[in-house]
Amino acid sequence: MNLRTAGAWITAGAAFWVTMGSLDVAADGARVIRLAMLPGLASLAACLGLALLIGAALTVRRAEAPRVGESGPGRGATPAT
């Protein structure tokens, strides 16, 4: 997994963490205040770790799959004569 792919999975984990939060409206005298209540930092760490694990598992699985047009032993390729 390269740095770009890891960054994408970290972004996905952070986005999932934000979706677990909620928005609320509170009245402070004559003002209305909007509040974003986000989950704890332990949940953020868990979401990031889970996203990286999923990304790593998918990367390994993708690396093991045969590619289209790739020749090699046991892949149905005929040797050139």
CB contact at 8 A, 54 and 16: no
> pLDDT tens across 21-57, in order?
999 999 988 899 999 899 999 999 999 999 999 999 9
> pTM for the full model?
0.67
pLDDT of residue 38: 94
Using the predicted structure, report yes or no on whether residue 71 has a pLDDT greater than 70: no
Q: How far apart are CA 68 and CA 72, in angstroms?
A: 12
Distance CA 74, CA 6 (A): 33
Q: Could you tell me the pLDDT band of residue 61, with boundaries at 50, 70 and 90?
A: confident
